[in-house]
Amino acid sequence: MPAHASAAAPPAPVSKRSLLEVTDLSITTAQTTLVHPTSFTIAPGERVGLIGESGSGKSLTASAVMGLLPEELTATGSITLAGTEGDLLERSDRQIARLRGLNMSMVFQEPMSALNPLMRVGAQVAEVMRIHRTQSKTDAARRAIDLLGLVQLPDPQATARAYPHQLSGGQRQRVMLAMALANDPQLLICDEPTTALDVTVQRQVLDLVLNAVTTSDTGLLFITHDLAVVARVCEKVMVMYHGEIVEAGATEQIFTDPQHDYTRGLLAASDLTATDDDGRLFTIATARAYDAARLSRARFTPPEAQVTGEQQVATASGTANDPGAQEQAPLIEIEGLHKTYQRTKSGLFSRADTVDALTDVTLSIRAGQRFGIVGESGSGKSTLLRILSGLEPLTSGYVRVGDCEIASASQAQLRAMREELQIVFQDPFASLDPRMQVADIVAEPLVAMGVPAAQRREKVSETLEAVGLDACSRARYPHQFSGGQRQRISIARALVCRPRILVADEPVSALDVSVRAQVLNLLTDLVEDYELTLVFVSHDLGVVRHLCSDVVVMKDGRIVESGDVASIYDHPQHEYTASLVAATPTLAAALDERAG
Amino acid sequence: MAGYLIRRLLQFAVTAAAASVIVFLLMQVLPGNAAQVALGTNATPEAVAQLERTYGLDRPLPVQYLDWISGMLTGDFGTSYVTRAPITPVIADSIQVTLIIVIASMAVALLIAVPLGSLAAVFQKRTLGTAISAASQVGIAVPNFLAAIILIMIFSLGLGWLPSSGWAAPIEGFGRFLARLALPVLALALVQAAILTRYVRSAVLEVMREDFLRTARAKGLTKTQALVRHGLRNAAIPVVTVAGIQLATMLIGAVVIEQVFVIPGMGSELVRAVANRDLVTVQGIVMVLVVLVLLLNLIVDLLYTVLDPRVRRAA
């Protein structure tokens, strides 16, 4: 390191003003450039957001600052951090390791896998102090417990003795935060820290981050694809697109008066309350017609947004409100549904405990309805879907899909029912067989039905076209497609046998906002063209509000509230619904809060 | 946890009991019984029946089985019809020899495989990693007995450093013991090490991709420190599984190695008993081998709960 010290840029005048200074950072592989020369600074105590879609280079930029880039990538340019000598990029792993966790620390996206599963969390928090010798062994253990209390974990003493698998995702993310804050770093980098969390937990964790950085004047680099989150947390925003920062500025300015086309597109696509002339969500391509200033106006005239929402509902439920449709028997009927699981026995002689996954669930869905099911993880949404599709037996109650009564149906009847009811799953990466060609994946339900090959080919082409994939994608494999395209393949597979009911289990929660808008528009189109009944399961209230006419809210296996979307969202009766609505980040609300 | 231990021990007992029935019945299925074997092909039926009565072979099978099993539980494996000597001391002596060889071999194999496998993972795309992978590939292809012969050619016949065969108990002098232990143990260990190196390498590679190693680095550890402090114990879990299974196959491998080095272990006794058609001794030795394998599995399962808190809770 002394060898580089003399070569370092004269930092004295700059370091007084800025905490982190990134100059002409570019990140390359042997073949391509992933991040084009990028410069930005973060002042002490400043909260800067870095937004963009997956693959835009956000995380790579943060990794370069931390010295955590994968070996096969090269970073050039310079990065200086106040209070440290020289260029961080010039440091060896050993030299930059001394700064990690001490001068700068990072919280990662994956709460489930980011902690060592074999180590108690208290020890993991204490370790970061022991590595840098900022505390003695006993003091580190004591301070670890204090820190766990600081991030508002219940019973810090007991939590310190717990292993990661004994904590929930939100709790683990708090542990990560406690670890990151342990040595009072000057710079905190958060990479999508709340993306995997439920909205109410997300809100709490964001508050913690905000509180921690403001009280200790820590600089924050906050990476996310969620514009509403960034608007809530950051005072400055940088927009990254294809490895370049295309726009940067104050949060209000970026979100109300975006200059770059991409920023405008991102903004339009994330705004689920705005639709174009055809009643479709804006995409990057159609964003020119989007009026970004509506967000700032919405805060002075809030009813406007609601009117848009209600219009949406009126068109969406148009067929369902038809008096003729009302009299028909519902297409799906669930009454008094219970589902209990046996937990594996914990001792030889102890009785197995039972877990109530669903308690007294009653709902009915009419033909042509767009029905939303909303709830956080563990609320029983997925169990309900599995029972509905006959994939899992029910404990008691009555479930009917079309003419098929699930509890007493034979295997043949269930098979026939599944031709009527098709599912699109959440994970577009895991739910397609990687060794099958697209045409075969899409044709699979038809094979099961015994449709002859020639007819299959025809139907597959037809459906692929309907979901917006061209004919040459037939012979390709899933890994050759992006997340959004894969979700189109999943939708094609579900629609190829012309079901009456389409069940979508969080189909857009793994997608970028710009892609999300496209897939949601596609679903809207297909529901109209194919006259589908849509059952849409999501934790995202905004998406459900846009897409569905009616909604049930689930918590701990029970339906706590049900009704049409407008009344549920605008006048929630149950306190859980109200807290869910309040915790859901929206751009308008976040900007409103900033202004207030 | 205590419940798990009890359940696992019960499982062990039930499996061992089932195995004993199978071993016993297999010996009955073989043509000819101990009396016929003892008297040869020219014996009269009367003489055979006479001897069967003496040995108690005319009793119903369940009675014979219970007799055998209750004897074993009290440490009495019966008397050989061929040598007329009690079997228990034979098994007790030979099992020590075999266990020493197998356990020493596994220890040596792990001492070689863990560092080499880790290095192969860390230097995955460089010369060192490739070289280790290639060497382990070659090692896997070499059968135990061939390794034994090559070792004898080099170290006994060529260099003359070590004796080519024989056995000495530790009380006969530790140096003598080690000198005679070295080659058989190496012959078994080298091949095992080659196999385990591959497993260690893939386990470490797997762990290096884990998010918590990145977290460890973000806390201020270098790549190597993160791997040593957080990675290796995680990588140990799949390696323990494989090592447990390999221990069982090493018991079998020892049978061959004992033949090559003329060592009085279980393998040699088993081969001798089979050659002499000494069915009671075969039955006893096979049963002991079965119990040893089951015991090793039990130990591996209990090791998991020590290594992995997630199993501890499920347990």
Choose, out of A99, A348, A349, the residue to mutate when testing the contact with B (most B CBs < 10 Å).
Answer: A348
First-residue to last-residue Cα distance in chain A = 48
Choose, out of A102, A105, A118, the residue to mutate when testing the contact with B (most B CBs < 10 Å).
Answer: A118
Residues B131, B50, single domain; the answer is no
From chain B, the residues in CB contact with A100 under 8 A are 217-220
Is the residue at B140 inside a domain?
yes
- Spans of all domains in chain A: 1-103+185-248, 113-183, 323-342+353-595
**Which among B279, B266, B219 has a CA at the least distance from the CA of A127?**
B219
Q: Is the dihedral of CA A568, A570, A575, A579 positive or negative?
A: positive
3-state class (DSSP) for residue B257: helix
Contact A106 B218 (CB under 8 A): yes
From chain A, the residues in CB contact with B225 under 8 A are 97
**Structure-token pair, residue B150:** 């090559």
From chain B, the residues in CB contact with A131 under 8 A are 219-221
Contact B219 A128 (CB under 8 A): yes
Q: Which residues of B touch chain A, with CB atoms under 8 Å apart?
A: 2-4, 6-7, 10, 210-212, 214-223, 225, 230, 233-234, 307-310, 313-314
Q: pLDDT at position A9, please?
A: 43
- Report yes or no: A62 at the B interface, CB cutoff 8 Å: no
CATH of A323-342+353-595, one of 3.30.930.10, 3.10.180.10, 3.20.20.70, 3.40.50.300: 3.40.50.300
- Decide whether A1-103+185-248 matches A323-342+353-595 in CATH topology: yes
The C-alpha angle A12, A107, B314, rounded to 5 degrees, equals 155
First-residue to last-residue Cα distance in chain B = 6
**Structure-token pair, residue A583:** 């915790």
Is the residue at B82 inside a domain?
no
Is the residue at B274 inside a domain?
yes
Task: Provide the residue range defining the domain that includes B59.
Answer: 2-73
CA distance B244 to chain A (A): 21
pTM beyond 0.80, yes or no: no
Query: Which strands form A404-405's sheet, in the order they lie side by side?
Result: A354-365, A332-342, A396-401, A404-405
Residues B174, B219, single domain; the answer is yes
Is the residue at B219 inside a domain?
yes
Give me the residues paired with residue B86 across strands: B79
> CA-CA-CA-CA torsion for B90, B94, B95, B99, nearest 10 degrees?
170
A&B contacts, CB < 8 Å: 84
Q: Is the dihedral of CA B116, B119, B121, B124 positive or negative?
A: negative
- Report yes or no: A221 at the B interface, CB cutoff 8 Å: no
Chain A 132-191, residues with CB within 8 Å of chain B CB atoms: 132, 163, 165-166, 176, 179-180
Question: Considering only A108-117, A250-259, A293-302, B254-263, which range has the smallest mean pLDDT?
Answer: A293-302
Question: Considering only A219-228, A311-320, A328-337, A446-455, which range has the smallest mean pLDDT?
Answer: A311-320
Where does the pLDDT of residue A309 fall: very low under 50, low under 70, confident under 90, or very high at 90 and above?
A: very low
Contact B218 A105 (CB under 8 A): yes
CATH of A1-103+185-248, one of 3.40.50.300, 3.90.79.10, 3.30.1360.70, 3.40.50.1820: 3.40.50.300
CA distance B221 to chain A (A): 6
Q: pLDDT at position A247, please?
A: 92
Q: What is the pLDDT of residues B278-287, one digit of tens each?
A: 888 888 888 9
Compare all CA atoms of chain A with the CA of B211 and give the residue at the minimum distance.
A114
- pLDDT surpasses 80 at A22: yes
CA distance B6 to chain A (A): 8
Question: Considering only A67-71, A236-240, B311-315, which range has the smallest mean pLDDT?
Answer: B311-315
From chain B, the residues in CB contact with A128 under 8 A are 219-220
Q: pLDDT at position A343, please?
A: 64
DSSP H or E segment with residue A92: none
Mean pLDDT computed over every residue of chain A: 83
CATH number at residue B230: 1.10.3720.10
DSSP H or E segment with residue A34: strand A33-42
From chain A, the residues in CB contact with B307 under 8 A are 118
- pLDDT surpasses 50 at A304: no
Q: Inter-axis angle of helices A137-150 and A169-181, to 10 degrees?
A: 130
Count other Cβ atoms within 10 Å, centred on residue A473. Answer: 19
From chain A, the residues in CB contact with B208 under 8 A are none
Question: Considering only A228-232, A310-314, A383-387, which range has the smallest mean pLDDT?
Answer: A310-314
Q: What would you report as the CA-atom Rg of chain A, rounded to the nearest whole angstrom?
A: 26
Is the residue at B292 inside a domain?
yes
Residues B100, B204, single domain; the answer is yes
- pLDDT surpasses 70 at A81: yes
DSSP H or E segment with residue A429: none
Q: pLDDT at position A550, please?
A: 93
More confident residue, A12 or A33: A33
d(CA A446, CA A334): 28
The C-alpha angle A194, A57, A63, rounded to 5 degrees, equals 70
Q: How many helices (H) and strands (E) does chain A have?
A: 25, 19
Query: Can you tell me the mean pLDDT for A145-149?
Result: 92
Question: Considering only A80-84, A452-456, B53-57, B288-292, which range has the smallest mean pLDDT?
Answer: B53-57
Number of domains present in the structure of chain B: 2
* CB-nearest partner of A127 from B211, B219, B307: B219
Backbone angles phi, psi at A250, to 5 degrees: -65, 145
Question: Considering only A2-6, A117-121, A569-573, which range has the smallest mean pLDDT?
Answer: A2-6
Contact A131 B221 (CB under 8 A): yes
Alpha helices, DSSP H, located in A366-437: 381-388, 411-420
Residues B203, B123, single domain; the answer is yes
